[in-house]
Chain A
Amino acid sequence: MSPSFTSRRRTLIGAAALLATLAGGLSIAPAALAQDGVTRVGFVYVGPVGDHGWTYRHDLGRQAIEQQFGDRVETTFVESVAEGADAERVIRNLAADGHDLIFTTSFGFMNPTIKVARDFPDVKFEHATGYKRGDNVSTYSARFYEGRAVLGTMAGMMTKTNTVGYIGSFPIPEVVRGINAFTIAMRKVNPEAEVKVVWVNSWYDPGKEADAAKTLIDQGVDLITQHTDSPAPLQVAQERGVLGFGQASDMASFAPESQLTSIIDDWDAYYVSRVQAVMDGSWESQDVWYGIEDGMVAFPDYGPNVPDDVAEAAELVKEGIVSGTLHPFQGPIMDQAGNEVVAEGDVLGDDVLLGMDYYVEGVQGALPK
Chain B
Amino acid sequence: MSETWVLALLTIVTAATPLVYAGIGELVVERAGVLNLGLEGLLLGGAVAAFAVAHLSGSATLGILAGLFAGVLLSALFAFLTLTLQSSQVATGLALTIFGIGLSALIGQPLVGIAFAGLPSLAVPGLSGIPVLGALLFQHDVLVYGSFALVGSVAWFLSRSRAGLVLRAVGDSPEAAHALGYPVIRVRYAATLFGGACAGVGGAYLSLVYTPMWVENMSAGRGWIALALVVFAIWQPGRLLFGAYLFGGISILQLHGQAMGLAVPSQLMSMLPYATTILVLVLISRDGGRIRRNAPASIGRPFHPTL
A residues near B, CB below 8 A? 48, 50-52, 80, 165, 171, 196-202, 205-208, 210-212, 214-216, 218-220, 230-232, 235-236, 239, 253-254, 364-366, 368-369
Contacts and interface: CB of A to CB of B under 8 A. Distances in A.
Given A48-B105, A50-B112, A50-B215, A215 B270 contact: no
B276 interface: no
B199 interface: no
A219 B256 contact: yes
A219 B210 CA distance: 19
A206 B218 contact: yes
Interface stretch (B157-165, B227-235, B257-265): B257-265
Contacts of A214: 7, 11, 14, 252
Interface of B: 4, 7-8, 11, 14-15, 105, 108-109, 112-115, 118, 206, 210-213, 215-220, 222, 251-252, 255-256, 258-263, 265-267, 269-270
A365 B218 CA distance: 29
B255 A212 contact: yes
B50 to A, nearest CB: 15
Leading 3 A-B pairs by shortest Cβ distance: A199-B266, A365-B261, A50-B112
Contacts of A230: 211, 215
Nearest to B108: A50
24 contacts: A51-B216, A165-B259, A196-B259, A199-B266, A200-B270, A202-B220, A206-B213, A207-B206, A207-B210, A207-B219, A208-B220, A214-B7, A215-B258, A215-B259, A216-B259, A218-B4, A218-B11, A230-B215, A231-B213, A232-B211, A232-B215, A235-B211, A365-B261, A366-B261
Contacts of B211: 206-207, 210, 230, 232, 235-236
B215 A52 contact: yes
Contacts of A165: 259
A205 B265 CA distance: 19
A201 B267 contact: yes
Contact of B4 (A50, A197, A219, A365): A219
A212 B211 CA distance: 12
A211 B11 contact: yes
Given A207-B206, A207-B222, A219-B260, A51 B270 contact: no
B213 A198 contact: no
A295 B257 CA distance: 39
